[in-house]
Amino acid sequence: MGTTGDTLAAGNEAMVEAAFRTGDYEAAERTFQELLTRARADGDRALEAAVLDRQAMLMHFRALDDDDLGKADSEGEEALFQQALEIRRDLGDSAGTAESLFGVGLVHQVLRQDWEAAMPYYWEALDLADRHGDLLLRSEVHRHVGFYYAMSDLQSDKALEHLRISHELRAELGDPRWIPGGTIALGIAELADGLREQGLAHVRESIAQAREAGLSAHRLAWMQQFLAKAEAER
C-alpha cells in the first residue's frame, strides 16, 4: 500500500488526465474525498490543506470544461482554496502557500473577471513560487502574470517576458499535456504585440503539440478556432 503522498499524487494525476484528455473526474474526486477523511481523522493538517487545494482545483477544471463560467461555484471554490491557504500559512509551508494563493487568484481572475482582486494573490504567489515552488507552479503563476500584462495592464514586453518564462518552465517539466497551453499563450501575446508571423507559428505549433499529446477535442477545438480567426485578420 502506498503512502498518502503517493495517493495524493495519483489523485492529482487522475485530475490532470481528466482535465486534458478524458473529462472523467470521478476517480480523482473519490481519491480526494477519501484522503480528506483520513487527514482529518489523523489530524494531518498538511495533508488536509493539500487535499482541499486539489478539490478546489478540480472544481476549477470542471468550470473550465463547462464553457459557461457564469455557472461556476466561485464561492465554493474560493472557500476551499482559502481554507487550504490558512492552514498552509499556519504551517509555514511556503510552496503550499504559493499554490493556494495562486488558486484564490484564479477564482478572481478567471471566474469573476476581476484582475484588481486577483493580482495581490498572484504577486505574492509569484514571489513565493519562484523561491520555493515546483516547475509547474512557477510556470502557471508566470503564465497568469503574463496574461495580466497582456490583457489588463497592457505592457506587451512584460507580458512576453513572463509568458516566455512560463513556456520554458513547461518545456523543462516535459509533461506534453501542459506544453501546448504555454505555446499558444506565447503566440497570442506575440500576435497582440504585432509579431504576426511569429505568433501564428506558435499557435500552429501548439495545435500540433495538442494533437500529439492526445488532448481532448474540447481543448483542441478552441485552439483551432483561435487560429482560424487570427489567420483571417489582416
**Measured CA angle at 196 (ends 169, 226), to 5 deg:** 75
Q: What is each CA distance from 70 to 73, 194, 218, in whole angstroms?
A: 8, 32, 18
> Which is nearest to 39 in space by CA: 83, 74, 76, 99?
83
Q: How confident is the model at residue 149 (pLDDT cuts 50, 70, 90)?
A: very high
Of 36, 37, 30, whose CA–CA distance to 14 is shortest?
A: 30
pLDDT classification of 64: cutoffs 50, 70, 90: very high
Distance CA 106, CA 190 (A): 23
Count of other CB atoms within 10 angstroms of residue 166: 25
Q: Reply yes or no on whether the pLDDT at 161 is more than 80.
A: yes
Instruction: Report pLDDT for 2.
Output: 57
CA distance 163 to 143: 5
- Phi first, then psi: give them for residue 211, nearest 5 degrees: -60, -45
- Would you give the end-to-end CA distance of the chain in angstroms? 59
What cell was used for 110? 478567471
In this prediction, residue 179 has a pLDDT band, given cuts at 50, 70 and 90, of: very high
Structural domains of the chain in order of their starting residue, each with its CATH number: 1-123 (1.25.40.10), 134-234 (1.25.40)
Q: What is the DSSP letter of 109?
A: I
Contact (CB, 8 A) for 71 and 62: no
**76-87 pLDDT tens trace:** 999 999 999 999
Give pLDDT, residue 43.
97
How many residues can be counted in the chain? 234
Share of the chain above pLDDT 70, in %: 99
- Using an 8 Å Cβ cutoff, are 188 and 150 in contact? yes
Q: Please tell me which residue, 155 or 171, carries the higher pLDDT value.
A: 171
Q: Which residues contact 158 (CB under 8 A, 6 or more apart)?
A: 146, 149
Which residue in 159, 137, 157, 136 sits closest to 146, CA to CA?
A: 159
Average pLDDT (208-224) is 95
Q: How many other β-carbons are positioned within 10 Å of the β-carbon of residue 210?
A: 23
Note the pTM of the prediction, 2 decimals: 0.93
More confident residue, 59 or 69: 59
The predicted-structure confidence for 103-124, as pLDDT tens digits, reads as follows 999 999 999 999 999 999 999 9
